[in-house]
Amino acid sequence: MGGFRLQLAISTRSFGPRPDPAEVIDGLLRLEAPAVAVHAGLPRPVLAGLLDLLHRERSRLPVLALTNYAPAPQAAPLASVVDALRLCSPDREERQLAIAATLDTFAAAADAGAPVVIVSLGEATHPDWPRMARLLARGEPLPERLLTERSAITERVLDNVRFCLDPLLARATSLGLTMAIPNRARFHQVPSTLELSALRAEFRGAPLRPWLDAGAGHTAWTAGSFDPGAWLDQHAADAVGVALADASGPRRGLPPGLGELGYRSLARRFTEARREGDDAAMLAIINTSDGFTDAELRAGIDHIRSVFPTAA
């Protein structure tokens, strides 16, 4: 079994969806953050200002990852910026716009010295999610019909994504970046566990790696649309990183230790999955929502370090 190491980073999202760059730096330094991940949705001027300040503090605050889209596409709704342009869209023009915006994120990551870009692929369908959320809040399952319909369009979804991945992976390779593909919280988002397996098989050898969003996985699991064990069986050995915000029921973005996630079992699964001789560190981003105190965030960092003794 290889030596399992976790390299911690704090997401700038913990300081608000569109925080003041100077306040982000102050907060990261107060927390003695070992490294930084830049969240999606920052307007271009705000992102430029933040990356400039991070460059000045690069010896203390190295940037390890950016989440697409950064900068935010024009007119992107803040709440759903990662899906504002869908790489899985059936519309060719939207896919072209999504590719261009993702390439902007790649350029920002390369300038910041960040080796990983976390790229969501979009939404495959447009169900009435508020109504679905109300069902889940009452403890009712998602209608089986919706899950069946989502599964039935897998090949169409994969065709759309392939159109985008060819140019994106070519650019990622030339820039020395890894494109990390996360699991999602909702059944209609892309990719499913099996879709990610299909993409990895087709683009084997390219810098395309799985990314586990633990909080999103918990939310999807409670909805009956995600099997964490199946994802770990298929992807844990090759995962480049994990997002470690906690979750409680449908609520996500909590500091680790304040929710229901079983981090000790997750640490065990990742440790068991490492291949012999694989000593590369896996990136772990603590990506809470804003509004938590420094003490709560420090407790979350300490919790992860107690569960993953090799976390740095």
CATH of the domain at 158: 3.20.20.150
Task: Convert 291-309 into a string of H (helix), E (strand) and C (coil).
Answer: CCCHHHHHHHHHHHHHHCC
Give the pLDDT confidence score for residue 149 in this predicted structure: 84
DSSP letters spanning 8-39: EEEEGGGG-SS--HHHHHHHHHHTT-S-EEEP
Task: Judge whether 68 and 108 are in contact, CB under 8 Å.
Answer: no
Q: Does 246 reside within a domain?
A: no
Q: In this structure, is residue 114 part of a structural domain?
A: yes
pLDDT digits (tens, 9 = 90+) for 186-221: 888 999 999 999 999 999 999 999 999 999 999 889
User: Is 191 contained in some domain?
Assistant: yes
**Within a domain: 238:** no
Report yes or no on 242 lying in a domain: no
Any domain includes 256:
no
pLDDT digits (tens, 9 = 90+) for 57-91: 999 999 999 999 999 998 666 557 899 999 999 99
The residue range of the domain holding 44 is 15-227
Least confident interval from 3-12, 131-140, 204-213 = 131-140
Number of compact structural domains in the chain: 1
Tell me if 85 is assigned to some domain.
yes
Asked if the bond preceding 71 is cis, omega within 30° of 0, the reply is yes
Q: How far apart are CA 245 and CA 193, in angstroms?
A: 20
Q: Quick check: is 34 in a domain? A: yes
